[in-house]
Chain A
Amino acid sequence: MDINKLIKQSLVLLLVCVISAGLLSGVYLITKDKIDNNAQIAYKQAMEDVLPEKGKAVTCEAQGYSAPIQLLVGVGENGKVVGIKVLSQRETPGLGANITDLKFLKQFIGKSAKDSIEAKQDIDAITGATISTKAVCKAVRKALGKE
């Protein structure tokens, strides 16, 4: 290949990359504060939801049906669950995804390391989503230090 052609091609590619990088840094700087702020608001909101009283909030996860299920569990000073929230999940819509239902999650409130926290024992499983239910139970047990 002609050496001049090679140099020209490299220069054009370099130029496009430089312009692109410059543009992206600009957009990054403009949106950075707002994005950090959003993340903080979301985190604060989640903390308030799971921890209305003193205690600690624990993030924990367990393998669900299609991807890990991530939970934020608020544990009160007496070692009981005071709040629970699903941070991320990719369960089947309409079946496993129902683990985000408040009615389902409420079952965990008040549980402590003394309870078995096992699907079909002290936790009612979601119809058609035993694996997802078990995963949430497992994650809560982890949060309470049982596993």
Chain B
Amino acid sequence: MSLWQDFNAGIVKENPVLRIMIGLCPVLAVSTNAINALGMSLAVAFVLIGSNLVVAAIRKIIPDQIRIPIFIIIISTFVTVCDYIMQAYFPALYTSLGVFVPLIVVNCIILGRAEAFAYKNPVLNSVLDGVGMSLGFTLALVSIGMIREFLGMGAVFGHQLINPAATALLMILPPGAFLTIGFLMAGLNKLENKVQ
């Protein structure tokens, strides 16, 4: 596979959220507004690209039988670094993301990419895979966040656009997340059928 394909795969064709449907827990929980969604995406991108890089770099010295514990140590190191940096420099964002920052450790996208891609591919390909997957995750999460924030609170990125009284509260409650993801998946499938 070429570098371009490795990069491109995660954005639409193998979009982690809308196609592979992994890492849905944080997607459902923090997509109540666009700013939280963007903050979460950036944190996941940092961890995913970092762990892909390190796993690919040391893949030849990792014994096969203990690869999962090693992946987890690498991933949790990046998550903790990210957690400290957020607490120190972005305290407001840290407060609103709450428990979901430490929970990036168990985000299936990251362990999934380490196991399925970075462990078998060179550093450059793995980094590009991480960047592509992060972009795909960001696109999906921010779209869901914007849709839910607009329909549920009448705002986008915190800017009030329509009267909040005219909005459907349901959209910022958990069912709103499932509905939005469902409609986005359906839309993406329809689009792909048309292209083919």
Q: B180 an interface residue at 8 Å Cβ cutoff? A: no
Instruction: State in angstroms the CA–CA spacing of A23 and B85 once bound together.
Output: 13
Partner of B87, one of A20, A31, A94: A31
Select from chain A the residue with minimum beta-carbon distance to B170. A94
Chain B residues positioned under 8 Å from A95 (CB to CB): 169
Q: How far is the CA of A3 from the CA of B12 in the complex (A)?
A: 47
Question: Whole-angstrom distance between the alpha carbons of A136 and B32 in the complex?
Answer: 24
**Does A92 sit within 8 A of B, measured CB to CB?**
yes
Kindly identify which residue among A16, A31, A34 contacts B73, using a CB–CB cutoff of 8 Å.
A16
Nearest CB of A to B97, in Å:
13
Residue from A12, A27, A38, A93 within 8 A of B66 (CB atoms): A12
Q: How far is the CA of A27 from the CA of B87 in the complex (A)?
A: 12
Q: Is the CB of A23 within 8 A of B173?
A: no
Q: Of B2-10, B16-24, B57-65, B131-139, which binds chain A?
A: B57-65
Q: Is B121 an interface residue (CB 8 A)?
A: no
Minimum distance in angstroms from B50 CB to a CB of chain A: 11
0/1 interface trace, chain B 46-59, chain A, CB 8 Å (1 if under): 00000000000010
1/0 contact string of A83-109 vs chain B (CB within 8 Å)? 000000000111100000000000000
Q: Give the CA-CA distance A28 to B88 in the complex, in Å.
A: 10
- Closest chain-B Cβ to A43's Cβ sits at a distance in Å of 12
Residue contact B74 to A5, C-beta cutoff 8 Å = no
Q: Is the CB of A34 within 8 A of B74?
A: no
Q: Whole-angstrom distance from the CB of A16 to the nearest CB of chain B?
A: 5
Given B58, B61, B81, B89, which contacts A23 in the complex, CB threshold below 8 Å?
A: B81
Contact check, A94 vs B169: say whether CB atoms are below 8 A apart.
Answer: yes
Say whether, besides A12-B61, A20-B77, A35 and B84 are in contact (CB < 8 Å): yes
Contact A9–B65 (Cβ < 8 Å)? yes
Q: B residues bordering A, Cβ < 8 Å?
A: 32, 58, 61-63, 65-66, 69-70, 73-74, 76-77, 80-81, 84-85, 87-89, 91, 152-153, 169, 172-173
